[in-house]
Structure 1
Amino acid sequence: MPIRINSRIEGDINGTDERQAWQDEHLSEETLAVLDQDSKLFLHQSMSTPCLNAIVSAEGIYIEDVDGRRVMDFHGNSVHQVGYKNEHVMNAIIKQMQQLPFLPRRYTSQVAIDLAQKLTELAPGDLNKVLFAPGGTSAIGIALKLARRATGKHKTISTWDSFHGASLDAISVGGEAVFRSGIGPLMTGTEHMMPYNSYRSIFGEGETAAAKTLDYLSYMLEREVDVCAVILEPIRSTDVQIPSVAYMQRLRQVCDDYGVLLILDEIPTALGRTGKMFVHEHYDIVPDIVVIGKGFGGGIFPMAGIVAREHLNIAGDISLGHYTHEKSAVGCAAALATIEYIEKENLLDHAQSMEKWLLFHLGELQKKYAVIGDVRVKGMLAAIELVSDRETKKKEVIGAEKVLYECLSRGLSFKVSSGNVITLVPPLITSITQMEEAILILDQSLEQVFTK
């Protein structure tokens, strides 16, 4: 099936000439045989099967493929805050497996209680009620159901271009065509608004334009009387859109004014990625529900959940989650150890200092390459937006994928977002020396693609 240009809005895709050329040049017959087996057995889907490569190990910030190629992983599906094969997390998992490998429903265990207690201590305000799930998409479903029950309403307002998971309810509130297109009728009552975008918008540019999106939200809420919640990513992780404090605080006020809940999806960004345990701490607001996942399980165990405000403990007569692996003893042990490691190793402070480092060094690349139209950084989450013209901000799409494959050849992996954004998500344990190596690879690759 031919690749449409709008298919490139989320991630590197698996049917382009650029990918085929990279595989032809770099992969051995042994690896190609593994990929062929995978392709024959798994259902094909964009950004997954057919796969790019086959890896045999992952440790620290590195993955290693069948051919022995070692690559710094600045993608990691946002699960590897504490690095791969983290010894503290692994030891906690092994100990829990030996003691209590599975927790049936109707029962609890001390490790689940300890994790819930830790989350309520970390979360601001009256975010005091917790529910776990086996994945972020499932946790989004819990949040949506809780919002409906709490308000007696069913509609949501989310933003175009957002991602909240891949299940039918999650893609309904999500706003990306690559997940929604061709699926058929989606969940009803899922309204959408313009996303925050301070540098490019149909409303113009800057904070005045961004504020107009909230004017439009108020306009919607005056007319959509059945809205239970507004749901959005406080920082959009894929292409790193960073709202201002004023925007987020006014969003909280708008929700309060119209009596709707504010659900913040921090699945890929909570637990230290932005230099705080929770992203909303940067904005001095308290959401009604915050959803977490991905790195929650220490890069090993699938683990997610919600933390909700005290007054939302109102659904005891229905099953909000009821997942088989909901209150997983092993998952709770992994998550608790992950938080312990982040605190013990002062990774929040490290992420904050690395933000300044990244802003400077990526800014230097921006001065060097006219194709870099914008650089956005929060903690250890960074975006380099490629444009064919800085004045018009027209996307440079094909070049982003070319830079990816050049970097992979040199030992660096990252995510391509929105078709033209190089998104860097390094593990929080990444050192200055390792970061210097990554920036050098990126510099060399940009030079190869855009100046040769």
Structure 2
Amino acid sequence: MTDSVEIGTPTDTKEVTANPVLTRVLNEPATHFRSEGDVNTTQARQAWNESLNHQTTQALLRRDSEVFLHQAMSTPCLDSLEAADGIYLQDSSGKKYMDFHGNNVHQLGYGHPHVIKKITEQMASLPFSPRRFTNETAVQCAEKLTQICGGELNRVLFAPGGTSVIGMALKLARHVTNNFKVVSLWDSFHGASLDAISVGGEACFREGMGPLMAGVERIPPAVSYRGAFPNPNASNNDNNQASDVHYADYLEYVIEKEGGIGAFIAEAVRNTDVQVPSKAYWKRIREICDKHNVLLIIDDIPNGMGRSGEWFTHQAFDIEPDILCIGKGLGGGLIPIAAMITKDKFNTATQVSLGHYTHEKSPLGCAAALATIEVIEQEKLLDKTQSDSKFMREQLLRMKEKYPVIGDVRGIGLLWGVELVTDKTAKTRAFDEAEATLYQCLNNGLSFKVSQGNVIQLSPPLIISRADLQAALNIFENAIQQVCIDFNYI
């Protein structure tokens, strides 16, 4: 996609010679919700913002703070951007970051020429399609999605974003089963609207919101490293192990005790802090849902379109959901579009408006989605992702053996979580160390997300070259090594 470039050097800022955060984060109390994203109101974030010695950047950050409604995790902002291309973000000072977060829209990186070409062609012919009309691009896109889904997933509805398709899936499940109750997982994220946070498991989104959607039961997720029901024989990072099936059995217990359950909703692999259940877990979940006539809704909004090395993450576990929700990367990092895909036997809601969105059959969104699928096919990105996955596994597991601050490594495809702990036996979360790692990597041109306060999430674009992937891992390892020194681990 793009040539390798020198990263981490601002064009008109003072050179950063050391991480300015390390002296500010030691022993800082963890007083904020940390489940979704790195905390942006700590002293570490303040120190980072103060280190952005660039007049245009500081002015834009002030204007942003003055005009946008403040909310957790997006105020104050991390930096200001002026460009994005391939795997890189470029800030207002000219500094480039390799983007290993991308809000999960960046499977193809940024500005892929094929996606831009197809969107531009669509804009010139049919830029918008009002409801009650169809168009060739939307039909082709729906047909192509059913093709790559395979199996019985052959009915599609589009929407402008992932949260919207979660709402449609919940409505369809109620319509099909005549049961309004839903089981979801603690620590899950399915969107920020009231219905989505009702079935989500992260407290930071429900804080102060009052009564939410009734009938939601939450159960513990299958967690290999730390969890509600730990198994001493658990083997991390092996999808063929069955050491987490007891988490699935608890779903059946809740279904039988509660009654009236219409759906179970979950990500096949939790994106935020990268929890990878076993194949045995998911096969047991599928059996339980079939036995009790509960619809299985898989939220693959952040991980779909190849991040797992399969088109959709559930395919890595050899199961098929009743309803699949996708989005984010579907639009190629250019156009917001999402889709709910289900089975023909559930095509029974003719008299119900499940979605009815203004951009329901967006020609531009569908052109972007079709182009994204074409790029993944033409550039053989699924095979590449599986190869890159093996490389990342080897590199990160090597680091785990070398650096005492790394307690666990887990992942699939190009989605990896590195959990930092202060003590490997107690598994105490290393909040300060994770923040120090983040800001040191940012100083050196690598951007990623921190989840649960101590899990480094690494999700590079699928188009990344092996050389750039190695360069990014070198930046990460250097930061981990420095943190181990500064926090007296070695």
Compute the TM-score of the two structures, normalised by the length of structure 2.
0.90
Q: Deviations over 1:352-374 (max 9, x none)?
A: 00010001111121122111001
Q: Could you say what secondary structure the match of 2:394 adopts?
A: helix
Alignment correspondent of 2:350: 316
Alignment correspondent of 2:7: none
Unaligned runs of 5+ in 1: none
Query: What is the alpha-carbon distance in structure 2 between the residues aligned to residue 118 and residue 298 of structure 1?
Result: 15
The within-5 A match list for 1:311-390 is: 311-390=345-424
1:120 matches 2:154: no
Alignment correspondent of 1:277: 311
Q: Deviations over 1:283-339 (max 9, x none)?
A: 111110010000000001000011101111010101100111111010000000000
TM-superposed deviation, 1:22: 1.2
The within-5 A match list for 1:258-273 is: 258-273=292-307
CA contact (8 A) 2:177 2:262 kept: yes
Alpha carbon RMSD of aligned pairs, Å?
A: 1.3
CA contact (8 A) 1:201 1:209 kept: no
Alignment correspondent of 2:162: 136
1:415 matches 2:441: no
Q: Deviations over 1:398-446 (max 9, x none)?
A: 2111111100000000010111000011000001100111011111111
Alignment counterpart, residue 203 of structure 1, candidates 229, 235, 239? 229
Q: Could you say what secondary structure the match of 1:362 adopts?
A: helix
Query: What is the alpha-carbon distance in structure 1 between the residues aligned to residue 393 and residue 270 of structure 2?
Result: 18
Query: What is the alpha-carbon distance in structure 2 between the residues aligned to residue 274 and residue 215 of structure 1?
Result: 25
CA contact (8 A) 1:168 1:186 kept: yes
Q: Could you say what secondary structure the match of 1:451 adopts?
A: helix
TM-superposed deviation, 1:34: 0.5
Q: Could you say what secondary structure the match of 1:405 adopts?
A: helix
TM-superposed deviation, 1:389: 0.9
TM-superposed deviation, 1:208: 6.7
CA contact (8 A) 1:415 1:422 kept: yes
* Equivalent AA in structure 1 for residue 38 of structure 2: D
CA contact (8 A) 1:130 1:305 kept: yes
Q: Could you say what secondary structure the match of 2:315 adopts?
A: helix
TM-superposed deviation, 1:209: 6.0
Q: Could you say what secondary structure the match of 2:82 adopts?
A: strand
Alignment counterpart, residue 467 of structure 2, candidates 412, 433, 441? 433
Alignment correspondent of 2:433: 399
Query: What is the alpha-carbon distance in structure 1 between the residues aligned to residue 229 and residue 323 of structure 2?
Result: 29
* Equivalent AA in structure 2 for residue 440 of structure 1: N
* Equivalent AA in structure 2 for residue 144 of structure 1: L
- After alignment, is 44-53 or 102-111 more displaced? 44-53
1:163 matches 2:189: yes
Q: Deviations over 1:115-166 (max 9, x none)?
A: 0000111113110100000000001000000000001110000000000000
Query: What is the alpha-carbon distance in structure 1 between the residues aligned to residue 249 and residue 308 of structure 2?
Result: 28
Query: What is the alpha-carbon distance in structure 1 between the residues aligned to residue 436 and residue 164 of structure 2?
Result: 34
CA contact (8 A) 2:381 2:462 kept: yes
* Equivalent AA in structure 1 for residue 152 of structure 2: D
Unaligned runs of 5+ in 2: 1-27, 235-240
Query: What is the alpha-carbon distance in structure 1 between the residues aligned to residue 53 and residue 346 of structure 2?
Result: 53
* Equivalent AA in structure 2 for residue 336 of structure 1: L
CA contact (8 A) 1:124 1:286 kept: no
Query: What is the alpha-carbon distance in structure 1 between the residues aligned to residue 33 and residue 184 of structure 2?
Result: 21
* Equivalent AA in structure 2 for residue 192 of structure 1: R
* Equivalent AA in structure 1 for residue 110 of structure 2: Y
Alignment counterpart, residue 220 of structure 2, candidates 180, 184, 194? 194
Q: Could you say what secondary structure the match of 1:7 adopts?
A: coil
CA contact (8 A) 2:39 2:453 kept: no
* Equivalent AA in structure 1 for residue 137 of structure 2: V
More helix by share: 1
Query: What is the alpha-carbon distance in structure 2 between the residues aligned to residue 447 and residue 24 of structure 1?
Result: 24
Alignment counterpart, residue 103 of structure 1, candidates 125, 129, 146? 129
Alignment correspondent of 1:44: 70
Query: What is the alpha-carbon distance in structure 2 between the residues aligned to residue 111 and residue 202 of structure 1?
Result: 47
CA contact (8 A) 2:434 2:453 kept: yes
Query: What is the alpha-carbon distance in structure 1 between the residues aligned to residue 244 and residue 473 of structure 2?
Result: 31
Compute the TM-score of the two structures, normalised by the length of structure 1.
0.98
* Equivalent AA in structure 2 for residue 443 of structure 1: E
Alignment correspondent of 2:198: 172
Q: Could you say what secondary structure the match of 2:33 adopts?
A: helix
Alignment correspondent of 1:87: 113
CA contact (8 A) 1:96 1:333 kept: yes
- For these two proteins, the number of residue pairs brought into alignment is 451
Query: What is the alpha-carbon distance in structure 1 between the residues aligned to residue 176 and residue 53 of structure 2?
Result: 53
TM-superposed deviation, 1:450: 2.0
Alignment correspondent of 2:5: none
CA contact (8 A) 1:74 1:427 kept: yes
Q: Once the two structures are aligned, what percentage of the paired residues are identical?
A: 52
Runs (4+) off by over 3 Å: 2-6
Query: What is the alpha-carbon distance in structure 2 between the residues aligned to residue 153 and residue 238 of structure 1?
Result: 29
Alignment counterpart, residue 248 of structure 2, candidates 181, 203, 214? 214
Q: Could you say what secondary structure the match of 2:34 adopts?
A: helix
Query: What is the alpha-carbon distance in structure 1 between the residues aligned to residue 275 and residue 399 of structure 2?
Result: 19
Query: What is the alpha-carbon distance in structure 1 between the residues aligned to residue 55 and residue 311 of structure 2?
Result: 44
280 and 160 in structure 1: CA distance in 2 versus 1, 3 angstrom threshold: same
- After alignment, is 400-409 or 18-27 more displaced? 18-27
